[in-house]
Amino acid sequence: MNEKIILGHGSGGRMTRDLVRDVFCRHLGDFGPQSMDDGAVLPCEKGELVFTTDSYVVSPLEFPGGDIGTLAVCGTVNDLAVMGARPLWLSLGVILEAGLEIDALERIVKSIAAKAREAGVKIVCGDTKVVEKGKGDGIFINTAGIGVLEHPLTPETIEPGDQIIVSGTVGDHGMALLTLRKGFPLKSDLKSDCAPLNGMISQCLDEAGVKWMRDATRGGVATILNELSEGRPWGVLLEENDIPLSDAVAGVSELLGLDPLYSANEGKVIFVVPRHQAENALKGLKKSAYGKKAAVIGLIVDDFPGKTVLHTQMGTLRTLGILASDPLPRIC
Amino acid sequence: MNEKIILGHGSGGRMTRDLVRDVFCRHLGDFGPQSMDDGAVLPCEKGELVFTTDSYVVSPLEFPGGDIGTLAVCGTVNDLAVMGARPLWLSLGVILEAGLEIDALERIVKSIAAKAREAGVKIVCGDTKVVEKGKGDGIFINTAGIGVLEHPLTPETIEPGDQIIVSGTVGDHGMALLTLRKGFPLKSDLKSDCAPLNGMISQCLDEAGVKWMRDATRGGVATILNELSEGRPWGVLLEENDIPLSDAVAGVSELLGLDPLYSANEGKVIFVVPRHQAENALKGLKKSAYGKKAAVIGLIVDDFPGKTVLHTQMGTLRTLGILASDPLPRIC
């Protein structure tokens, strides 16, 4: 096999088949496609499916805590899980840039396999395209995912007094990528929180009456909470003192004047639960390695209808708007 | 709205939402997502689903007979249909290059809407990413598709005497792209055959005992038939005189010394049917505008086990190998 990807790997002919067999199918093993057919035949029970898609264009391809393959599995698994679905099957579409080292591709496919195994999902179908050098950026990945809806959410029942919970420290993924990309000589315990959260979420759903949840990816916690509060007759009030931050993220945020509430997460979920079930929700989350630092960070309030407001450490109130543009492109 | 895509359109914040609403949701209308949620909830009966994915990187983005949006719907719809499934739902993941004109994006989204309408499928979920100028090529599209398996195929029953049918003229898409890209001053009645074939296929399935079918995309008819014959105890014998070619494709092929059997199609299916049902299959295909030139082009034979062989117009026999590399990258 060539050491680098060349255009012929995207021909649809012999070279494509060899690449699919020797790299994708080999490393994915039991978690990969079981035939070279264009599509997968999947058994289905009567009920409701959830279907989602995400493309991943993160730069650089590998970073502390993960790589684009980790993201491509975790991001789509998490999108299904926060819709109340049990993730089952993923598709895998890759766009390779000619010149990509096959060693790098193998590392990424191994990450995909490892995360698929951890999340308990299968990569059932795929597609490989190649573009000329200078027309892509190493590898872009699309994963679409199918899950079975098991816990339909009830955002229409949200009411003042409901508690806002975050499953752990905030802003890790974005800050890790930022310091890596800018080459800041900062202490290196900053790493992405990228993780498949379906196991953790399922434990929380078993314990608490979750009304709404969302993974706080691009745009961070502030943008996700704005999507929750926008157009509603109630508001979201966050307590800055209660928001979990790692020391590393706190340090970088202060140094660079950046707000971790707008920094992307790839392993954190925001939940809305009834006040009397908040303790149960926390207990459920903390059963998972990914939820050890879960905390109540705010509540639904009668005041500030339609808005998300932060009660700051200084004691002031600050409205958090939705992220308008992008402080850091290609974060995922 | 800006006239060109900028990085902020991929932020996941306000600009992304505005673009999704004003371009994607507006043009897709009833055939697009019905919420801004990350995933779609879909009703499902007990049975078998077919799941498939394809990324589209065609260059140029627009060509005679279609554009990358046309391809992105038709390609995935056809992949489902040739698995014996009724296509229902597509996801739509786009990777935009900063600098892409929003007018061009709108034309592409309109093509997506038109083909989704024609095929009777819905675009139920989507994702938008933006990469820097020089890190992509205008737009790359991924569509994953879900269909319900209605006509499981029976390739294990294929036997000598079965007939090979093609649904129309061969090589149109590849030859149209080639002449466009090379700037040949050839007569311009060459155009892509890109079309959603689920309607045509369903009419054929109703009339004939189809054992196997496949759309003859990258690698063309010869590569697809090699995938059929490889490792089997029988061979495929094609009759060159019977292969339908448009005058334009015949002319260009001869002029450039290219074999239309290796040229990509985006609107042609190869069928294997029992001899006694070939006439019914042709009759079914010809009910569709896309199947008017359907023809029997060969048969399954005891000779040449594992191979695909062409009986040429000269009376000789020529083995057709699988396409090794790619004469024309980024054809779809």
B249-303 per-position pLDDT tens digit: 999 999 888 999 999 999 999 999 999 999 999 999 999 999 999 999 999 999 9
Mean predicted confidence (pLDDT) in B84-108: 98
Q: 């994953």: which residue's tokens?
A: B144
pTM beyond 0.80: the answer is yes
Domains of chain B: 37-149 (3.30.1330.10), 155-320 (3.90.650.10)
pLDDT tens digit string along B9-61? 988 888 888 999 999 999 999 999 988 777 999 999 999 999 999 999 999 99
Mutate to test the interface with A, among B57, B59, B128, B262 (most CBs of A within 10 A): B57
What does pLDDT average to in each consecutive run of 10 residues of chain A (332 residues)?
84 88 95 86 96 97 97 98 97 98 98 98 97 98 97 95 98 94 76 97 88 94 95 97 96 90 96 97 96 98 97 96 77 90
DSSP 8-class letter at B181: H
At A322 the pLDDT is 83
Cβ-contact B219, A13 below 8 angstroms: yes
At B187 the pLDDT is 61
Chain B residue with minimum CA distance to A18: B324
Instruction: Find, among B141, B136, B113, B139, the residue nearest to B126 by Cα.
Output: B141
Subunit contact B39:A83, Cβ cutoff 8 A: yes
Q: How far is CA A320 from CA A155, A193, A317, B78, in A?
A: 21, 23, 10, 46
Which residues of A are less than 8 Å from B53 in CB distance? 91-93, 125-127, 142, 144
Burial B151-175 (b: 16+ CB within 10 A, else e): bebeeeebeeebbbbbbbbbbbbbb
Q: Among B15, B48, B140, whose Cβ lies nearest the Cβ of A41?
A: B48
**Strands laid side by side in the A122-131 sheet:** A122-131, A85-97, A139-149, A47-56, B39-44
Q: Among B36, B38, B92, whose Cβ lies nearest the Cβ of A79?
A: B38
Mean predicted confidence (pLDDT) in B300-315: 97
Subunit contact A83:B136, Cβ cutoff 8 A: no
Cβ-contact B268, B168 below 8 angstroms: yes
B130: β partners = B96
At B71 the pLDDT is 98
pLDDT tens digit string along A186-224? 666 899 999 999 999 998 887 789 999 999 998 899 999
Q: Among A39, A149, A214, whose Cβ lies nearest the Cβ of B50?
A: A39
* Gap from A110 CA to chain B (nearest CA, Å): 20
At A189 the pLDDT is 81
Subunit contact B53:A93, Cβ cutoff 8 A: yes
Instruction: Find the range with the poorest average confidence among B38-47, B81-90, B191-200, B290-299.
Output: B38-47
Cβ-contact A236, A117 below 8 angstroms: no
Mean predicted confidence (pLDDT) in B82-108: 98
At A327 the pLDDT is 67
B67: β partners = B62
As a whole number, the mean pLDDT across chain B is 94
Task: Tell whether the model's pLDDT for residue B2 goes beyond 80.
Answer: no
Q: Among A82, A214, A219, whose Cβ lies nearest the Cβ of B11?
A: A219
Cβ-contact B304, B248 below 8 angstroms: no
Distance, CA of A29 to chain centre: 24
Subunit contact B15:A149, Cβ cutoff 8 A: no
Subunit contact A325:B94, Cβ cutoff 8 A: no
Subunit contact B46:A45, Cβ cutoff 8 A: yes
DSSP 8-class letter at B4: B
At B319 the pLDDT is 96
Subunit contact B49:A41, Cβ cutoff 8 A: yes
DSSP string, B104-154: HHHHHHHHHHHHHHHHT-EEEEEEEEEE-TTSS-SEEEEEEEEEEE-S---
Q: Among B131, B137, B146, whose Cβ lies nearest the Cβ of A57?
A: B131
Say what percent of chain B tops pLDDT 90: 85
At A187 the pLDDT is 61
Mean predicted confidence (pLDDT) in B89-117: 98
At B37 the pLDDT is 79
Three-class SS string for chain A?
Answer: CCCECCHHHHCCCHHHHHHHHHHHHHHHHHHCCCCCCCEEEEEECCEEEEEEEEEECCCCCEECCEEHHHHHHHHHHHHHHCCCEEEEEEEEEEEEECCCEHHHHHHHHHHHHHHHHHHCCEEEEEEEEEECCCCCCCEEEEEEEEEEECCCCCHHHCCCCCEEEECCCCCHHHHHHHHHHHCCCCCCCCCCCCCCCHHHHHHHHHHCCCCEEEECCCCHHHHHHHHHHCCCCCEEEEEHHHCCCCHHHHHHHHHHCCCHHHCCCCCCEEEEECHHHHHHHHHHHHCCHHHCCCEEEEEEECCCCCCEEEECCCCCEEECCCCCCCCCCCCC
Instruction: Find, among B179, B104, B174, B184, the residue nearest to B141 by Cα.
Output: B104
Residue A117: Cβ-neighbour burial (10 angstroms; 0-12, 13-18, 19+): middle
- CA quadruple A318, A322, A326, A331: dihedral sign: positive
Subunit contact A13:B127, Cβ cutoff 8 A: no
Task: Tell whether the model's pLDDT for residue B184 goes beyond 60.
Answer: yes
B298: β partners = B164, B238
At B59 the pLDDT is 95
Which residues of B are less than 8 Å from A85 in CB distance? 39
Q: Among A127, A329, A330, whose Cβ lies nearest the Cβ of B55?
A: A127
Residues B232, B239: Cα–Cα separation, whole Å: 20
Helices (H) and strands (E) in chain B, counts: 9, 14
Could you tell me the pLDDT band of residue B79, with boundaries at 50, 70 and 90? Answer: very high
Subunit contact B44:A43, Cβ cutoff 8 A: no
pLDDT tens digit string along B147-180? 999 999 999 999 999 999 999 999 999 999 999 9
User: Amino acid identity, residue A62?
Assistant: E
Chain A residue with minimum CA distance to B137: A135
* Gap from A298 CA to chain B (nearest CA, Å): 22
Residue A107: Cβ-neighbour burial (10 angstroms; 0-12, 13-18, 19+): middle
Subunit contact B40:A48, Cβ cutoff 8 A: no
What is the token pair recorded at A213? 């949840």
